[in-house]
Amino acid sequence: MTTTTATDHESADNIEPDMLAIDLRTAVMRTSRRLRIEATGDVITPGQYTVLAHLRTGSQTLRELAESEHVQAPSMTRIVNALTEQGFVSRSPHPEDGRQIQIAITPAGETVLAEARSQRTAWLAQRVAGLSEEDRRVLSRAAHIMQEMSAK
């Protein structure tokens, strides 16, 4: 299997946007997948990590969590049940709709989320440390550009 990179699609002054988009999408997806795997395992699953990260911004209903994760309600219920059993989230009645339940992150959930984020950062920092100064500069600029693009 032959892999291509953006430089394979470059002419002297022209990088084809479609080809660069393919390369970026592939790189982002692979890196994201590795980061999800690196910081989970015995304590929380990747899906649980994502739910905890969503809850850092405030409590949400099961429906809101399911919609943000693009999963069906029964799948989200299983994730939330597991997080509840571990003490990482709490449930409370919705203040405006008694049929709904609010899910909130607990201090233990905040701790496990912070630990997982630290593990992800450490894994990535180790990879970045092995790069040349020039490659780190390029990645730094690329990171800023990608943050700008995703904010639009």
- In this prediction, residue 35 has a pLDDT band, given cuts at 50, 70 and 90, of confident
Q: CA–CA separation, 42 vs 49, rounded Å? A: 12
What would the mean pLDDT of 92-115 be, rounded to a whole number?
91
Least confident of 29-38, 39-48, 52-61: 39-48
Which backbone phi and psi does 4 adopt, to 5 degrees?
Answer: -115, 155
Hey, what amino acid is at 60?
Q
Report the pLDDT value the prediction gives residue 43, as an integer from 0 to 100.
81
- In this prediction, residue 33 has a pLDDT band, given cuts at 50, 70 and 90, of confident
- In this prediction, residue 76 has a pLDDT band, given cuts at 50, 70 and 90, of very high
| Tokens linked to 24 | 């970026």
Q: CA–CA separation, 143 vs 74, rounded Å? A: 36
Find where tokens 């020039």 sit: 134
Report the pLDDT value the prediction gives residue 3, as an integer from 0 to 100.
46
Report the pLDDT value the prediction gives residue 119, as an integer from 0 to 100.
87
Phi-psi region of 16 (alpha: psi -120 to 50; beta: other; left: phi over 0): beta
